[in-house]
Amino acid sequence: MKIHENISLKPFTTFGIDKKAKFFVRVGSMIELKSAFLVAKEKRIPVLILGGGSNILLTQDVEGLVIKLEIKGIQVVKEEAHHLWIEVGAGEVWHDLVLHCIDKDWAGLENLSLIPGTVGASPMQNIGAYGVELKDVFHSLQAMNRETLEVHSFDPEACQFGYRESIFKQTLKNQYVITSVTFHLSKAPEFHLEYGAIKEVLQANGIQHPSLREVSEAVIQIRQSKLPDPKEIGNAGSFFKNPTISSNQFEELRALHPTLPGYSNPEGVKVAAGWLIEQAGWKGKRIGHVGVHAKQALVLVNYGEGSGEDIKQLSQQIQTSVFDKFGIQLQPEVNFI
C-alpha cells in the first residue's frame, strides 16, 4: 500500500474535473483500509472515500487523504432451492456485478443495469431504476467505523432506506465505510416491466417472454438513448432527485400544467424532476463549458473545461428557476465536495 501525494482526481470521477488530492491511496483489503485510516489519524487529516466517483462534484482540492476503495470479491454465502445470498466487495463495479448475476441466472438486479458507481455506494444512495430499488434485493452490509476501526453489520431496518437515502447519508454520514454488501437474489425471476419504456422496447425487439439478459439489454438500450457516456462527456447521471409533493399541490399544479407526470407513493406524489427542469427552459442549455444535456434535462454535463463551481452554480440557477415556476425545491443526488 503506497500513499501518493498531489494526485489529480480527474481520472477517478465521472464529471472529469481536475482537482487534486493532497494524499491518495488505493486499498484492496480490510488490512489496507485500516492501515490507511491509521495513517490519516497519525497525520490528523480528514478522509474521503472514493468508489466509482460517479456521485460527487469536486468544487475544490481535497486537503486530506482520498482512499480509492477497491475491495473485490463475489461469493455465495447461502443457497436454497429458489433463492441465494451473495456477499460482494464494496470495490466491485456495479454494472459488472449485474452482468455477473445475469451470466449465473441470478435474478433481481437486471433493472439496475448500467447504473454507474461501485457496490459500496449502492446502499448509501439506495440506488434505483425502472421500478426497482436496492432495498428490494438487500439483505445486509458490513461497514467499518471510522473512529474505532471495528466492523459492524447492518440489516435493512438499521439502514433506514428511503428514496435515494439511507442512514449513511443522514445520521451516520462520514462515520462508516461500507466494505461489503450481501444481496438476496432469486433463481426464478419476477420481472418488473411496467416502469418506463422497458415493455415497449421488448415489444419493438419482438420479445414476448424475455430472459434476464433481454430485460437487462432493454434497460441498457433505454439508458444509452437518454444518458451521455461519462467517458465521452463529463456527467454524474441524474443530478437531482425526483421530488415528492403533497397530493393537493400536485392537483393544483396539474390544473395549470396538465401534462405534469406524477406517481403516487406513501408520502404523496412523486413528480419528474427532468420534466420540471425542461419546462423551466433548461433542457439543452449551455453556459460556458457546462450545461444541461439535450436528451435528458436531469443530467448536468461538463463539456471538458468546466469547473465544479461552474456545475454548482448551474445547479443552483436551475433550483431557483424550478422553484419560481412550480414552487418545488429540487434536491441534488450528487454530493458536493
Q: Please give, one letter per residue, the 3-state secondary structure of 165-218.
A: ECHHHCCCCCCEEEEEEEEEEECCCCCCCCCCCHHHHHHHCCCCCCCHHHHHHH
Q: Say which residue, 215 or 184, is predicted with more confidence.
A: 184
Q: What is the CATH number of the domain that holds 63?
A: 3.30.43.10
Q: Which of 164, 166, 180, 307 is catalytic?
A: 164
More confident residue, 158 or 266: 158
Q: Is the domain of 50 the same as that of 103?
A: no
Q: Is the pLDDT of residue 140 over 90?
A: yes
> What pLDDT does 196 receive?
64
Residues 60 and 116 reside in one and the same domain: no
Last residue of a domain, one of 69, 102, 123: 69
DSSP state, residue 242: P
pLDDT for residue 33: 96
CA dist., res. 257 & res. 264, Å (int): 17
Is 142 within 8 Å of 152 (Cβ atoms)?
Answer: yes
Catalytic residue among 180, 238, 307, 315: 238
Active site residue 54: no
Annotated active-site residue 223? The verdict is: no
Mean pLDDT of the region 242-262: 88
333 assigned to active site: yes
Which residue among 70, 87, 133, 333 is the active-site one?
A: 333
Same domain, 325 and 261: yes
Give the contacts of 119 (CB within 8 A, at least 6 positions apart).
Answer: 88, 89, 90, 91, 92, 93, 94, 97, 180, 181
pLDDT of residue 206: 75
Query: In which band, very low, low, confident or very high, does the pLDDT at 333 lie, cut at 50, 70 and 90?
Result: confident
Question: Residues 61, 80: one domain?
Answer: no
Q: Which residue has the higher pLDDT, 145 or 202?
A: 145
Last residue of a domain, one of 24, 49, 69: 69
Interatomic CA distance for residues 324 and 314, integer angstroms: 15
**How does residue 47 score in pLDDT terms, banded at 50, 70 and 90?**
very high
**DSSP annotation of 134:** G
Average pLDDT over residues 277-289: 93
Sequence letter at residue 23:
F
Q: Is 133 helix (H, G, I), strand (E, B) or coil?
A: strand
Structural domain including 10 reads 4-69
C-alpha span between 81 and 91 (Å, rounded): 29
